[in-house]
Structure 1
């Protein structure tokens, strides 16, 4: 009987041997092709394509505002630049998605240290733009360290929190709190209130996924609320933003104009190039590109984009339901939450549900640092959600064609 069962196992295992179907390619590209989450990759590709169309729609308005009246300035200047950044970002995303998890983890730890150090120097050597110091100038171009730090921070936190599985006595929670607090302090000095919120919110979400005590989470929520109140009274940028949002005082031109632009196109929009209100937006190609989409392509297009972001986050979280590696769960979930939360904040600002924060819409807004950082983050996310389709999560079950046989 035992021999019979063993024979069935061997026969069925041979039946699903990948080599018999040309899937035994052990090259990096071959493994990547069969292990990558193709649905997730497709959703991201669609989002990048939509972003390129949106930048083309916003480019004339941005060009008119920032060209200084130059007659030689192309109306599609930002479109062509965005296309160039996409041409760089997509290969970066693909290469990183091909990395083994261990290599991706090491890359992230190195990246987290490197960009944290850059973040320290931003207030010292960074050029001031619109009253803020958020960039480091390398001569050939400017880099915004906080954008690149986001994905690396998530993976580094996932690694740190997962160490608890091996040794319960490790003080990983206090260490993660100190690191996050240090980053928040440096961001507030720039000032960058929006990124501060993202880092802190993602950290708390990862603590919840790591199984931290509910009382600690409640305490962090209270501390966060107290922090916002203190920021309102002692942090000028927060005071200005909150007053504009809650009381309509100060300069509300940006958010008011964004809302009027977004709704001007109705359900179906005025058509590509038909928008006129976009020419009055201060940042039509970055912070308020969602409003440009609303004017030219309609509210239905805006809802479709919101659904696309939700689909990406949901796809990742659902895929993690049968994952058994705590580091992979924390890293992938954290990256998805960070990605979705940034998109949510940008869209909420455009519909006046949140104060203005100067935050880009992932893969849709124009920007070199943003595109490269998002490509790195999505590459890491694709790397951590890769799955061998021939391996089950249980070592005691051999699966094929929907059947199983206990070993």
Structure 2
């Protein structure tokens, strides 16, 4: 039976829609591939490690997986739309983000949801979802610093016009995050210092920022509301033989997971330590991955993040504008430093923190804001690729 032309056109419509969508995908194709690969790894790892969580909640494991899949798809959509927006618009958006971020951080400290003596989340009315304001703060501070450093290059060493606004924004955001989430604050502070170095801030002024950060850090550790937690975690890491077993419980079971995983792992879904680790689907998902996929799986994940950093560095070096280079640099270093901090904690190279593995750990706002960060990096990459296509097209016209 032959089909009519109208039927054939109808059958092609879905494929035409997919083709049109793929044609609109711009930027570094390797980064797109890395994001998709990390998303697949995340689905496998989260599905395997949420059995105990599903049991405690009285839900099916598949329900949690579908919810996580929904967040990943939402993140990919945000990444797609944010990469279509010219990255120059993010300079203006950064000012609005900073105006919103600081009051939100204050509100979170005073009225946020308290979990493990930390107030990091606020509830989104009518959705049942929670929002971690530090995720927004990372994006806001990095975009604001990139904007400020790129626009004040002519008077970058001027204390009143350049240094005080930069130092003030870094220190205010640092202290507001550090009171509830010291690990995130330290990583963001480190990324900020890297941006200051790349943005040609003088060593003397950077030293002042570091000194101010050190004073704030000591104040948070010894006088802050979570001082006992911070001190006990550092003590458990430095002296595990004398530490309280409750404080070293997570790191001990993470080490057991890695040790029993061996070279090739126990196989997907065969982890046993996922039943003991408090957060095998978020903070210690890397230990779960090694237990199931072995050292080969662990090294493969490290290689993926290293390759991501390599592709981002290529974008930074090729960016024609200072703002684009600083923006891509800050966001890429933030993502990779967070990834390696999470993996370092899982293998016992650092004290226990609550830092998720970007695009792999289960989480709501973390996945969404990470996807937006990737989208902005791809927007910078798109700006690099499009002039090349124009030049190639002009060469072909001349040759014709």
Q: 2:87 maps to which residue?
A: 101
Q: Distance in 2 between matches of 1:167 and 1:208?
A: 15
The 5-angstrom pairing of residues 289-328 of structure 1 reads 289-328=285-324
SS of structure 2 residue aligned to 1:136: strand
Q: CA deviation at 1:166?
A: 4.5
Alignment check: 8 A CA contact 1:51 1:363 kept: yes
Deviations 1:200-221 (A, max 9, x none): 1111010011012234445555
Matched, 1:148 2:139: no
Gaps of 5+ in 2: 1-19
Q: 2:28 maps to which residue?
A: 37
Alignment check: 8 A CA contact 1:29 1:98 kept: no
The 5-angstrom pairing of residues 167-316 of structure 1 reads 167-168=155-156, 169=158, 171-189=161-179, 191-218=180-207, 220-221=209-210, 228=217, 231-235=220-224, 236=227, 237-248=229-240, 249-250=243-244, 251-316=247-312
Q: CA deviation at 1:192?
A: 0.7
SS of structure 2 residue aligned to 1:143: strand
Q: CA deviation at 1:241?
A: 1.8
Change (3 A) 1:51 1:215: same
Q: Distance in 1 between matches of 2:21 and 2:345?
A: 41
Deviations 1:114-153 (A, max 9, x none): 2332111012221211211111112322111111221222
Q: Distance in 2 between matches of 1:347 and 1:198?
A: 14
Q: Distance in 2 between matches of 1:229 and 1:247?
A: 21
Change (3 A) 1:271 1:230: same
Q: CA deviation at 1:372?
A: 0.9
Count of residue pairs the alignment pairs up: 368
Alignment check: 8 A CA contact 1:78 1:366 kept: no
Alignment check: 8 A CA contact 1:59 1:76 kept: no
Change (3 A) 1:29 1:164: farther
SS of structure 2 residue aligned to 1:133: strand
Q: CA deviation at 1:379?
A: 1.1
Q: Distance in 2 between matches of 1:175 and 1:388?
A: 30
Alignment check: 8 A CA contact 2:171 2:212 kept: no
Q: CA deviation at 1:199?
A: 1.6
Alignment check: 8 A CA contact 1:85 1:371 kept: yes
Q: 1:375 maps to which residue?
A: 371
Change (3 A) 1:182 1:75: same
Q: Distance in 1 between matches of 2:377 and 2:384?
A: 16
Q: 1:56 maps to which residue?
A: 47
Q: 2:116 maps to which residue?
A: 130
Gaps of 5+ in 1: 1-27
Of Structure 1 and Structure 2, which has the larger fraction of its residues in helix?
2
